[in-house]
């Protein structure tokens, strides 16, 4: 392995323990590599409020895609009085964003890192029960987590009076039935309760009324995996490992897929440019191809073009440029791919995964798919493009109950913006014009 890809504890808190053969790091090896040191430090020397302050000051933001500050989320729970002290910590491992598999990497290679993060979070939030809500297709990750939970339980790290702290905690692995919407925290809570997984109205927020009506915190896998290193090494170190040009702190699992020479995931500092990831890590586009477009962080993020490759990969810079960093697992679109077909494929997914609760999303997404199919088959009308533009508005931010529909509109709207000529290529009859509005 060249020095370029060497992982170190100082720069790669999430991945430095990963074995070269990518087999899971089990308990003994994890402990030999400083595993559970942060947990002992937190339990022995830190109060819950100190840990919340530390996480707040670290600047850690949720890694599931939305980027909500983790310390602020935790402080909402700890500030809630709860006489019965029944609280839940949920780990969102329902990774269903097309093209994204970063949480899977962590669960399959470093299951104890996740468990350590969960234990520190649960201790801080005074949650005595936790669930890992896992995407059901992740069969191997489920077996890795099950074994790691057994090992941690046998070692007294899960159970009663953990490390003599008086803290009790039970951890359960729950595999979902496979719905994209379960990645939304309130739909995940409904699903755990055995109900139809539709998002809940907020407020009340899960911090007040969550799982079975009790205060609940939902954190993503990668977010929780950051916690041990922050506890162990402190705020200044954590803030120093991202690029100085970035307001975001720490590292992020980032990647590039598509027809690149070396598709993959790497732990990289926030602020690194997309061009560096594509060219230095992913090895550039395959021979004979060039980059036409790319999505920075999953199927629900707006397309960029090759003109945007020098954007620094962090929440703010990607947002200013017109998209979202999302999961930071980027997808390269090459010149052989037709944008209408690609967007049709994405919208079929979003249409299938709509929970059906609200009309614009339930009925609008299949309509969009039909229009895109007609353009793909070159039997569309000019009016179809106008209707697509109007549907982008009707399903856009603030028009539906949750963010699923607006997320589904981001790739469509950006493809219309940058690649209109490919949509117009699908028009059979250019003489029929838009005569009505749909809203």
User: Please, how many CA atoms are within 13 Å of residue 258, restricted to the half-sphere of its CB?
Assistant: 30
Nearest to 318 by CA among 271, 350, 277: 271
Considering only residues 347 to 366 of the shown chain, the ones binding ligand SF4 according to CB under 6 A are: 354-358, 361-362
The minimum distance between CB 200 and ligand SF4, in angstroms, equals 10
Q: Where are the alpha helices (DSSP H) in 234-273?
A: 235-240
DSSP state of 103: H
The CB-nearest residue to ligand SF4 is 361
Cβ proximity to ligand SF4: between 167 and 357 the closer is 357
Residues 398, 350 contacting (CB under 8 angstroms)? no
| Residues 6 or more apart whose Cβ sits within 8 Å of residue 327 | 63, 64, 65, 97, 100, 102, 297, 298
DSSP one-letter code for 69: B
Q: How far is the CB of 358 from ligand SF4 (least distance, A)?
A: 4
**35-54: which residues touch ligand SF4 (CB under 6 A)?**
none
**58/60 Cα distance (integer angstroms):** 6
Pairing state of beta strands 291-295 and 329-334?
antiparallel
Binding to ligand SF4 (CB under 6 A): which residues in 4-23? none
Q: Which is nearer to ligand SF4, 73 or 200 (CB)?
A: 200
Residue 41 CB, nearest approach to ligand SF4 (Å): 41
Q: How far is the CB of 172 from ligand SF4 (least distance, A)?
A: 26
Considering the complex, state which of residue 205 and residue 237 has its C-beta at the smaller distance from ligand SF4.
205
**Closer Cβ to ligand SF4, 23 or 352, answer by number:** 352
Q: Residue count at the site for ligand SF4 (CB under 6 A)?
A: 15
The 217-256 site mask, x for binding ligand SF4 (CB under 6 A), equals ----------------------------------------
Read off the DSSP letter of residue 303: -
What is the nearest approach in angstroms of ligand SF4 to the Cβ of residue 97?
Answer: 14
Closest to ligand SF4 by CB, 301 or 400:
400
Beta-carbon contacts of 154 under 8 Å, excluding residues fewer than 6 positions away, are none
CA angle 17, 248, 40 (to 5 degrees): 40
Q: C-beta of 179: minimal distance to ligand SF4 in Å?
A: 10
Least Å distance between CB 174 and ligand SF4? Answer: 21
Q: Are strands 427-429 and 251-257 parallel, antiparallel or unpaired?
A: unpaired
Q: How far is the CB of 181 from ligand SF4 (least distance, A)?
A: 5
| Orientation of helix 111-125 relative to helix 70-78, angle to 10° | 40
* Alpha-carbon gap, residue 333 to 330, rounded angstroms: 10
Q: What is the largest CA-CA distance in the chain?
A: 78
Binding marks (x or -) toward ligand SF4, 386..405, rule CB under 6 A? --------------xxx-xx
* Site mask for ligand SF4 (CB under 6 A), range 400-439, x = bound: xxx-xx----------------------------------
- For 327, the enclosing helix (H) or strand (E) is none
**Contact map string, positions 179 to 218, toward ligand SF4, x by CB under 6 A:** --x----------------xx-------------------
Going by C-alpha positions, the residue among 212, 423, 417 that lies closest to residue 305 is 417
Residue 156 or 397 with smaller CB distance to ligand SF4: 397
In angstroms, the CA 434 to CA 389 distance is 11
Report in angstroms how near the CB of residue 354 gets to ligand SF4 at its nearest. Answer: 4
Q: Which residues of this chain interact with ligand SF4, rule CB under 6 A?
A: 181, 198-199, 354-358, 361-362, 400-402, 404-405
């Amino acid at each position: 392995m060249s020095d370029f890809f060497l992982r170190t504890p100082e720069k790669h808190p999430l991945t430095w323990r990963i074995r070269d053969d990518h087999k899971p790091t089990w308990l003994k090896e994890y402990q030999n590599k400083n595993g559970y040191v942060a947990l002992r430090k937190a339990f022995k020397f830190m109060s819950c409020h100190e840990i919340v302050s530390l996480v707040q000051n670290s600047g850690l933001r949720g890694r599931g895609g939305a980027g909500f500050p983790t310390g602020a989320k935790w402080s909402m729970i700890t500030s809630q009085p709860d006489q019965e002290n029944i609280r839940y910590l949920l780990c969102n491992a329902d990774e269903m964003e097309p093209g994204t598999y970063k949480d899977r990497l962590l669960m399959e290679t470093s299951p104890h890192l996740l468990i350590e993060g969960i234990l520190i979070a649960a201790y801080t939030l005074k949650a005595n029960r936790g669930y890992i809500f896992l995407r059901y297709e992740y069969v191997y990750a489920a077996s890795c987590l099950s074994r790691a939970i057994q090992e941690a339980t046998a070692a007294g790290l899960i159970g009663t009076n953990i490390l003599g702290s008086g803290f009790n905690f039970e951890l359960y692995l729950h595999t979902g039935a496979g719905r994209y919407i379960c990645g939304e925290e309130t739909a995940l809570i409904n699903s755990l309760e055995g109900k139809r997984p539709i998002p809940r109205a907020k407020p009340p927020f899960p911090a007040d009324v969550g799982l079975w009506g009790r205060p609940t915190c939902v954190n993503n896998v990668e977010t929780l995996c950051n916690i041990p290193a922050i506890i162990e090494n402190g705020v200044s170190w954590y803030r120093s490992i991202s690029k100085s040009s970035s307001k975001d702190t720490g590292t992020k699992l980032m990647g590039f897929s598509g027809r690149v020479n070396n598709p993959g995931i790497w732990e990289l500092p926030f602020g690194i440019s997309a061009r560096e990831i594509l060219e230095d890590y992913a090895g550039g586009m395959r021979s004979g191809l060039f980059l036409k477009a790319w999505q920075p962080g999953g199927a629900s993020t707006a397309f960029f073009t090759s003109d945007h490759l020098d954007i620094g990969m962090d929440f703010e810079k990607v947002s200013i440029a017109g998209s979202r960093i999302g999961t930071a697992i980027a997808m390269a679109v090459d010149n052989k791919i037709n944008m209408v077909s690609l967007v049709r494929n994405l919208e079929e997914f979003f249409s299938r995964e709509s929970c059906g609760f609200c009309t614009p999303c339930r009925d609008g997404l299949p309509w969009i798919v039909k229009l895109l199919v007609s353009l793909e088959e070159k039997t569309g009308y000019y009016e179809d493009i106008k209707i697509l533009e109007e549907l982008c508005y009707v399903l856009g931010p603030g028009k539906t109950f949750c963010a699923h529909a607006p997320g589904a509109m981001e790739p469509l709207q950006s493809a219309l913006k940058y690649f209109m000529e490919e949509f117009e290529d699908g028009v059979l009859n250019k003489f029929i014009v838009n005569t009505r509005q749909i809203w």
